[in-house]
Amino acid sequence: MMQNKLIQLIDNSIEKLNEYIINSRFDRVEQKQIIKVLEEIKNDLKKSGEIRERLLRGYKDICTSTAINFEEASYADSIFEIKNALELICPKMKELKILGMDYGKGDPL
């Protein structure tokens, strides 16, 4: 049940991110990366119900970046809603470290 709600939150967030990208005057590489991570999380949920640890760590990076750089963006609240839902489904997420410098150097991130 919670997984279905999380998938719905992810779909809503992707929609908000796409609107943000369309309405931006600049190429939004960071937002496109967020969409990629959200789609990977959604795929994991649908396939096995388990989310890979690297994705969870990458999502923590996204939350940190959003809080620092995009707190006022139209999609920011949805990013944090997903984080809260992920922490309910995967309690270990609270203890995971961000990917940091490893972001972009592995599979899937």
Tell me: the pLDDT tens digits for 53-95?
Answer: 999 999 999 999 898 888 888 899 999 999 999 999 999 999 9
Range of the domain at 80: 2-102
Q: How is residue 82 written in tokens?
A: 């997903």
Q: How is residue 88 written in tokens?
A: 């309910």
Place of tokens 């470290």: 97
Domain-located, residue 35: yes
Whole-model pTM?
Answer: 0.89
**Total domains in the fold of the chain:** 1
Alpha helices of the chain — where are they, by DSSP H?
A: 2-23, 29-47, 53-69, 76-89
Domain-located, residue 43: yes
Model pLDDT, residue 86? 94
